[in-house]
Amino acid sequence: MASKIHYEEDIFLLKEMLRTLRRGCLISIDSSIFLEYTVNQLLFISKALKELYSTISEANYIKSPEQIRNLLRVSSGFRELLNDLINERLKFSEFTRSYTEDFRTIEAEHIKESARIKELLLSLSDEEENEDLVSEEEFMFLFQDSGDEEE
């Protein structure tokens, strides 16, 4: 594993790869040329997303909520592509029928991981809100009269 993860760049590239795959699956392309490539790309994207899920949830530094939201968007786009292939909403779906169960398994794994990452995002949002809140004791201290200090 790389010592430094470039989340923004990695997420950007995965998003572009998904966009290209979706476009390819929408048109009439030759399955004898593109089936293996398409399936391998889907498997690669799945693996890359899992690695990003893992590193972003295990990182010991403050994570950018925007990076996490971008990761969730790409994950959602990936699941949508798989779902469209499974439910034969794309022209290329007719060639991927033998992978339907594999795609269902991958989709379920990513749904589970996305839920975990959403929880992380919510906990980060809660932490940010709590950092901005002033406690009742802090308010009391801030608004006490100088005469209250003598008591």
Find the mean pLDDT for residues 42-48: 98
Query: In whole angstroms, what is the distance from residue 119 CA to residue 97 CA?
Result: 33
* Range of the structural domain that residue 15 is part of: 7-129
At 36 the pLDDT is: 98
- Per the model's pLDDT, the better-predicted residue between 67 and 128 turns out to be 67
CB-CB contact of 117 with 59 (8 Å): no
Q: Residue 2: inside a domain, yes or no?
A: no
Tell me if 70 is assigned to some domain: yes
In a domain, residue 148? The reply is: no
Give the mean pLDDT of the chain: 85
pLDDT of 111: 97
pLDDT at 3: 55
């995002």: which residue's tokens? 121
Answer whether residue 26 is part of any domain: yes
| Residue 132 pLDDT class (50, 70, 90 cuts) | very low
In a domain, 134, yes or no: no
Contacts of 95 by beta carbon, 8 Å cutoff, 6+ apart: 31, 35
Position 141 in a domain: no
Into how many domains does the chain fold?
A: 1
**Residue 40 in domain:** yes
**Residue % of the chain over a pLDDT of 70:** 76
d(CA 148, CA 125): 36
Residue environment code for 92-120, b if the CB has 16+ CB neighbours within 10 A, otherwise e: bbebbeebeebbeebbeebeebbeebeeb
Look at residue 147 and tell me whether its pLDDT is greater than 90: no
Instruction: Note whether residue 80 is domain-resident.
Output: yes
Cα dihedral 37, 81, 119, 132, rounded to 10, equals 100
Can you tell me whether residue 43 is helix, strand or coil? helix
